[in-house]
Amino acid sequence: MRFLTIPCIFWTFACSESEKTTDTAQQGTIVEDLDGDGFFSDEDCDDSDPARNPNAEEICDGVDNNCDGQADEGALSTFYADGDGDGFGNPDLTKEACEAGEGFVEFGTDCDDTSANQYPGAEEVCDGVDNDCNDETDEDLQNLYYIDEDRDGFGVAELEVYDCDLREGLSAITGDCNDGDNTISPVAAEICDEIDNNCDGNIDEDVLNTYYFDLDEDGFGDPSTSIDSCSPPQGYVLDDTDCLDTDSFIHPLGMEICDEQDNNCDGQIDEETAFDTQLWFIDADQDGYGSSATIQYSCTQPAGYVDNDTDCDDLTTSTSPGSDEVCDGVDNDCDGQSDEADAIDETIWYADTDQDGYGDISSAVFSCSAPTGYVDNPQDCDDTEELTYMGADELCDGIDNNCDGQADEASAVTVFTWYEDGDEDGFGNPSQSMDSCSQPVGYITDYTDCDDNDNDVHPGADEICNGEDDDCDTSIDNNVIDGDTWYEDGDEDGFGNPATSQNACNAPTGYVTNPQDCNDSNAIINPDSDEVCDNVDNDCDGDIDEESATDVVSWFLDGDEDGFGDSSIAQISCDAPIGYIDDDTDCDDNNDLIYPGAAETCTGIDNDCDGSITEIGSTTCPAQTCNDIISVDPTSISGLYTLDPALDGNTIDTYCDMSTDGGGWTLVGYSYNSSATIAAGNHNMKSLKCGGGTFDPESRGTSSAAIASVEIAQSSTEMAISLATGSVTTGGLQSYNYGWKFTIPDPSAVTFINQSYRGSHFTDAGPCTTVIVQGIVGDSSSYTRYTLASSLANSWSDSFPTGYGAGDSSTCLHQDTGPFITSIHSGSHNYAYGRTTTECDVSAGSETYTHRGNYTASGTGHTGSAAIWFR
């Protein structure tokens, strides 16, 4: 695919005052001053540029400004190569030019053009280099150091050196008194070696050792005989801790023994650590028997200690191997047992087989504590029965429970009370009773009979309407079996509560005969009430708020949840079903942007449900481009639409092609030539906005104003130019004979030109930008058209070979690589005024062409029309 640049070339208007013309018709030559600089074209070296003429000043721009045949004479400058890019050049590498150019600068004062850190004015740093190019190195930046040959961090004061950095072998500190020995310095420790190690001027100060005489040669010296020296004299040692220097067995490491001497020189004699001490045991209770709880080693017996540890309780004098055993839970005689059989105070115990706390006198044993199953009393008369013992409660069980010699006497705690049943109805007389373990004849345990003379009267008997208390419940004729069922009517609405009823001979107060009330606390709730929407079963039919409610509501589905419902989908209920509301005015319940009161948009949709649609591209809803219209409504047809190109409220009417190559093409400018005769103004392009008037493809423009639809072009990605041999009053691109389609790589760069007809000049009108040819269409008439070399159609058909040249009587004749001439118009001539035929020629593969010429759709002497489209 190739690129095509459509140039903007401005011709002068007929009314220009700066243009002058000399008519030399008698010689057949017309000489003009086209650039208005006062010099005719035969003396001006460039009559298209008013800045170039014989009186112009020569400037350095690569052009012959003063028309003397030379360019830039006397205007060149000297520049210097700047190899290191620091802004200062090498004085030895120069060039003469108008501008410095890459790698050259105005000043040639660099002292080292290989280093970007060296140039006039650079900051001098201490690095052994002349940074600021002043012929001095590291001036005023070096420091004072001292030679330090032994590398101990201290130098010799007399050996000074100036340098940028504290390198190895130098020191910033003096004070070394021997620079050949790194163990000797002001911070070294002084040792006893007859040398001044710390360089303080003194030798072996404060480091001499004190030695002591060792007469017995046991390695420990006598503190009373000493001498100071770096090394020990004969017979002397560093230690001074010998307490008897005449005995080699007595010294701080000697073994202490029981001999009344201080053998280990610790200031103590025969202490407990002596090798041959005896072990003694404390006798805290002083009973002559000791305890191992506290021991002591000593050469002699300590006070309060004995030589045995046989006391099992050294805090009690009554406890020892010689004491009597007594019943106290303690091992009194220290034999390893407590309260054993030989205790002097044992107790008599009796077997309690039935575990009732009372023992059998015939089973006695002696012991300090009760054996398992034994007690200390013999008061059980039957040790096989746990409820039988002295003092037990007498029970009605045929046994002498309390061991008093009698069974089941009247004092038995479980004795029964019996009541007389005179009418033998199984219910006793509460006023006639007796106590006994066994049932007397004519007596029973019940005492609830209210009439013991009538066997039809007793608890549980059927109550009948006879004026008596038949069932002994203290009430007469209540819950009778031969009466009626009555239901409580608490709210007095005539309907009773089925949960509260009575059987009675007569109606109780507040009771009715029916149980049909479902809420007996509310008089307006009963089977005769109307159902209403209040979440209550008003008519007692078992349903709440059913559809029969008098105030039921119609609800409508709100599928898009915009607050407006669909009238075609309704439910009747008291409460809104999920997703339903009480509105039915939504005209599209699938779109939450469509509802009554919504803002009407230019989408071809009835947004506010008022029954009317605002069409995009209409006067009330103008679009910016035709492509915007078809994007909203793909069914749009070709025709006249209203647009607002700048979106500023200033609208225009133009034609939209909605069918060619997918549609969406906007007509931004057109021209029409109704006569084969050349006439002034025939070829002006009619502008969308500046042309004025209504849309009329058969009218021609009357002004030379620029086409004012740059906003449409700059919002587009494609452009098309179409031409026809006659009038095209309606229809789109397909109604023209042939045309070109392009893509626009940079829409923001699109501008327009529109130049007027003057004399034999025809209009140049069209967009200026770089475009890419996408496709070409053509007709089969005898007149051909220019194409771009090597272009091929990809969505339009091309009926001519690639690169097919001009075939009509144009000035640019028979060019087999015919370029696309960018200026277009309709009319009678294919005209290129003032140009040679070679200007139409472009080598194969060229992407741009800058010819300023004209183009005809139909050839010489024909009417025609042309149009510019964007999408």
Domain ranges of the chain: 1-20+615-871, 277-334, 552-611
Over range 279-305, report the average pLDDT. Answer: 90
**For the ranges 18-22, 369-373, 690-694, 744-748, the one whose mean pLDDT is highest:** 369-373
- Using CA atoms, how far residue 736 sits from 654, 656, 826, 866, in Å, is 17, 14, 12, 8
The predicted pLDDT at position 670 comes to 67
- What sign results for the dihedral spanned by CA atoms 218, 220, 226, 228? positive
Q: Does residue 419 surpass a pLDDT of 70? A: yes
Chain-centroid distance, C-alpha 751: 47
Q: Mean pLDDT over residues 527-545, rounded? A: 90
pLDDT greater at residue 425 or residue 713: 425
pLDDT at 817 over 70: no
Q: Residue 734: exposed, middle, or buried by beta-carbon count in 10 A (0-12, 13-18, 19+)? A: middle
At 764-808, the pLDDT tens digits run: 444 545 455 454 444 433 333 333 332 333 333 333 333 333 333
* More confidently predicted of 677 and 543: 543
* Rg, Å, the chain Cα set: 68
pLDDT classification of 736: cutoffs 50, 70, 90: low
d(CA 208, CA 206) in angstroms, rounded, equals: 6
pLDDT given at position 740: 66
Higher pLDDT, 820 or 576: 576
Question: pLDDT-based confidence at 220, cuts 50/70/90?
Answer: very high
Contact status, residue 419 vs residue 447, Cβ threshold 8 Å: yes
How is 164-180 classified by DSSP, letter by letter?
A: SS--TTEES-B--S-TT
* Highest averaged pLDDT of the listed ranges 61-65, 206-210, 518-522, 704-708: 518-522
Band (727; pLDDT cuts 50, 70, 90): low
pLDDT of residue 560: 92
Q: Look at residue 673 in the predicted model and tell me its pLDDT.
A: 59
Contacts for 147 with CB less than 8 Å, ≥ 6 apart: 155, 156, 159, 161, 169, 170, 171, 179
Please say if the pLDDT value at position 841 is more than 70: no
Instruction: Give the closest residue to 765 by CA, choosing from 780, 779, 746, 751.
Output: 751
Model confidence at 564: pLDDT above 90: yes
What is the per-residue pLDDT across 85-117, written as a single tens digit (0 to 9) for each?
Answer: 989 999 999 988 888 889 999 889 999 989 889
Mean pLDDT, residues 221-246: 90
Rounded Cα–Cα distance for residues 406 and 408 (Å): 7
Band (546; pLDDT cuts 50, 70, 90): confident
For residue 812, the model assigns a pLDDT of 31
Q: Is 223 exposed, middle or buried (0-12, 13-18, 19+ CB in 10 A)?
A: middle
Query: What's the pLDDT band for 845 if we cut at 50, 70, 90?
Result: very low
Say if residue 846's pLDDT is above 60.
no
Top-confidence residue, 402 or 604 = 402
The amino acid at residue 265 is C
Tokens of 109: 């004062």
pLDDT of residue 165: 84
Per-residue pLDDT band for 305 (boundaries 50, 70, 90) equals very high
Q: What is the mean pLDDT of residues 434-457?
A: 89
Edge to edge, the sheet with strand 484-488 lists 497-504, 484-488, 511-512
Nearest alpha carbon to residue 739 among 706, 776, 710, 709: 776
**pLDDT band at residue 820 under the 50/70/90 scheme:** very low
Decide if 347 contacts 364 (C-beta within 8 A). Answer: no
Instruction: Give me the residue label for tokens 């006994």.
Output: 436
Q: Check pLDDT > 50 for residue 635.
A: yes
DSSP letter, residue 706: P
pLDDT higher than 50, residue 811: no
Looking at the predicted structure, is the pLDDT value of residue 700 above 70? no
Rounded mean pLDDT, 855-862: 36
pLDDT at position 467 is 85
Q: What pLDDT is stored for residue 724 in this prediction?
A: 66
pLDDT at 682: 41
pTM of the model: 0.34
CA distance 64 to 57: 10
Residue 857 has pLDDT above 70, yes or no: no
Whether the CB-CB separation of 819 and 804 falls below 8 Å is answered with no
The model's confidence at residue 120, banded by pLDDT at 50, 70 and 90, is very high
Higher pLDDT: 694 or 382? It is 382
Q: For residue 148, give the 3-state DSSP assignment.
A: coil
Token pair listed for 82: 């700047």
What is the rounded average pLDDT of the residues 486-503?
Answer: 91
Q: How far from 540 is each of 332, 417, 574, CA to CA, in Å?
A: 94, 55, 17
Is the torsion defined by CA of 393, 394, 399, 402 positive or negative? positive
Mean pLDDT over 631-642 rounds to: 87
CA angle at 401 for the pair 400 and 404, rounded to the nearest 5°: 60
b vs e for 44-81, b when ≥16 Cβ sit within 10 Å of the residue's Cβ?
bbbbeebebbeebebebeebbbbbeeeebeeeeeebbb
3-state secondary structure of 655: strand
Q: Which residue has the tokens 């001036």?
A: 139
What is the model's pLDDT at position 577? Answer: 92
Cβ burial of 158 (10 Å; 0-12, 13-18, 19+) is exposed
Q: Which of 121, 120, 137 is nearest to 129 (CA)?
A: 137
**The predicted structure's pLDDT at residue 29:** 60
Q: Is the pLDDT of residue 241 over 70?
A: yes
For the four alpha carbons of 94, 96, 102 and 108, in that order, the dihedral sign comes to positive
Q: Cβ neighbours of residue 679 under 8 Å, at least 6 residues apart? A: none
User: Among 250-254, 473-477, 650-654, which stretch is predicted with the lowest mean pLDDT?
Assistant: 650-654
pLDDT band for position 360 (50/70/90)? confident
Percent of the chain with pLDDT over 90: 18
Say how far apart CA 625 and CA 714 lie, in whole Å: 11
For residue 122 the two structure tokens come to 């650079």
Other C-beta atoms closer than 10 Å to the C-beta of 662 total: 14
Q: What is the pLDDT of residue 27?
A: 46
* Amino acid 723: pLDDT: 66
With a cut of 60, say whether residue 663 has pLDDT above it: yes
Task: Specify the pLDDT at position 856.
Answer: 33
Mean pLDDT of the chain: 77
Between 136 and 681, the more confident residue is 136
| Tens digit of each residue's pLDDT (9 = 90 or more) over 123-140 | 888 888 888 899 888 888
Three-state secondary structure call for residue 672: strand
